[in-house]
């Protein structure tokens, strides 16, 4: 991970006495939403000490004027406001801005807020209480989407995952099961896991941090109340991340976190996405694939899949079986809306039989 400038800026945050909660707000050309966003910080009913840490990432609109206006209101209500930023010709990216906002802040807990979203008044209070109980977890919450019908399947997924599914569905194309705009965690745990990747536009800094969080044994907790108005609009930074980039990171994490526990496995889906998964695996992981399985008789009749692009000689020929003839463990590579996803135990060799990798398009339905 790149983290240039992070430690230097941290000295500023460490020079002040710490407050309980720092709201971390990166800003880039957020003029249309900032009044509502900052107003929601003022409306928090948290009774502890709180600060707002804003980092302006080369905004060219009136974002800074709005921030300065709200600084007086917030500080008049006892919320310290720390403002940093730069006016370079181009932005440095979301990961860099979050790192800087964190480094210049001093709170023992971090509440992440996107500049186009709006918090409900009880958000900081409820998530802080959960974070105190779960010091090595990322705390999320349910959301209300705006516009209401913009990403219905994705929003249902965010809000309705059972507690165990927050872990078992980490390989889906929707990304982190506790979504980044709702994150709340202790500063100590963030420092243990982070900082965010600073690669800039097109880098899924939230997914990379999420994977590192899981590698280090972090937990996932969701407060089951709608605490955030989560906006969907074409200018959202997440749209800059290519599906192929997300896919690559997901497959690598699957190979690191799940597949080492299996001597062999079956890919459930002999179609396009199943074959894509097979081709995306490293050679060592491909050697573990003993079969594809499917319900489509036309695919099954072919008898095998030949990996024509392989440099191996002879080229690998993987059997295609009816699912009733296939042997677990499985990697199920199907559309999320096509299956009812129950518990999937990952990262534990004993009892680990199924890993689901649903293929619902990440960018089109939600993020």
What pTM value is reported for the model?
A: 0.85
Q: What percent of the chain has pLDDT over 90?
A: 74
Kindly state the average pLDDT of the residues 339-345. Answer: 36
Tell me whether residue 224 is in a domain.
yes
- Split into its structural domains, the chain has a count of 2
Question: Which of 241, 269, 302 is at the close of a domain?
Answer: 241
pLDDT at 41: 98
Cβ neighbour number for residue 70 with a 10 Å cutoff: 21
Residues 185 and 254 in one domain: no
Over residues 70-105, the pLDDT tens digits come to 999 999 999 999 999 998 999 999 999 999 999 999
Tell me whether residue 366 is in a domain.
no
Query: In which element (H, E) is residue 280 found?
Result: helix 272-280
CA-CA distance, 257 to 263, in Å (whole number)? 14
Higher local confidence (pLDDT), 354 or 168 = 168
Tell me whether residue 97 is in a domain.
yes
CA-CA distance, 284 to 357, in Å (whole number)? 19
Tell me whether residue 85 is in a domain.
yes
Residues 205 and 291 in one domain: no
The CATH code of the domain that includes 170 is: 3.90.550.10
Show the domain range for 337.
250-356
Arithmetic mean of pLDDT over the chain = 87
CA-CA distance, 345 to 158, in Å (whole number)? 19
pLDDT at 236 over 70: no
Of the spans 11-25, 106-120, 337-351, which averages the highest pLDDT? 106-120
Residues 199 and 260 in one domain: no
Over residues 129-164, the pLDDT tens digits come to 999 999 999 999 999 999 998 889 999 999 999 999
pLDDT at 235: 67
**C-beta of residue 175 within 8 angstroms of C-beta of residue 206:** yes
Question: Which of 241, 260, 293 is at the close of a domain?
Answer: 241
Residues 55 and 107 in one domain: yes
């Amino acid at each position: 991970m790149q983290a240039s400038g992070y430690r230097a800026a941290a000295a500023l945050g460490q020079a002040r006495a710490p407050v309980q909660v720092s709201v971390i707000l990166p800003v880039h050309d957020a003029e249309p939403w900032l009044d509502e966003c900052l107003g929601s910080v003022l409306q928090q009913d948290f009774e502890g000490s709180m600060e707002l840490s804003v980092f302006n990432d080369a905004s060219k609109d009136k974002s800074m004027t709005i921030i300065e206006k709200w600084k007086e209101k917030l500080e008049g209500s006892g919320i310290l406001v720390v403002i940093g930023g730069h006016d370079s010709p181009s932005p440095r990216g979301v990961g860099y801005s979050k790192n800087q906002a964190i480094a210049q802040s001093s709170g023992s807990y971090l509440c992440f807020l996107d500049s186009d979203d709006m918090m409900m008044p009880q958000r900081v209070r409820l998530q802080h209480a959960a974070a105190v109980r779960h010091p090595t977890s990322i705390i999320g919450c349910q959301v209300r989407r705006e516009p209401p019908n913009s990403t219905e399947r994705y929003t249902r997924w965010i809000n309705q995952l059972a507690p165990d599914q927050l872990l078992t569905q980490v390989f889906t194309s929707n990304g982190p099961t506790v979504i980044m705009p709702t994150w709340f965690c202790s500063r100590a745990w963030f420092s243990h896991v982070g900082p965010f990747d600073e690669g800039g536009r097109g880098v899924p800094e939230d997914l990379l941090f999420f994977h590192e969080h899981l590698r280090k044994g972090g937990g996932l907790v969701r407060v089951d109340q709608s605490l955030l108005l989560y906006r969907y609009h074409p200018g959202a930074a997440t749209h800059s991340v290519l599906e192929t980039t997300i896919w690559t990171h997901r497959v690598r994490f699957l190979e690191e976190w799940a597949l080492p526990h299996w001597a062999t496995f079956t890919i459930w889906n002999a179609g396009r996405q199943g074959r894509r998964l097979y081709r995306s695996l490293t050679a060592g992981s491909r050697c573990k694939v003993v079969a594809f399985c499917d319900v489509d008789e036309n695919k099954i009749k072919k008898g095998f899949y030949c990996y024509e692009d392989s440099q191996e000689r002879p080229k690998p020929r993987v059997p295609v079986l009816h699912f009733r003839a296939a042997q677990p463990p499985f990697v199920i590579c199907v559309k999320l809306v096509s299956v009812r996803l129950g518990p999937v135990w990952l990262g534990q060799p004993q009892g680990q039989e199924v890993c689901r990798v649903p293929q619902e398009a990440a960018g089109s339905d939600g993020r």
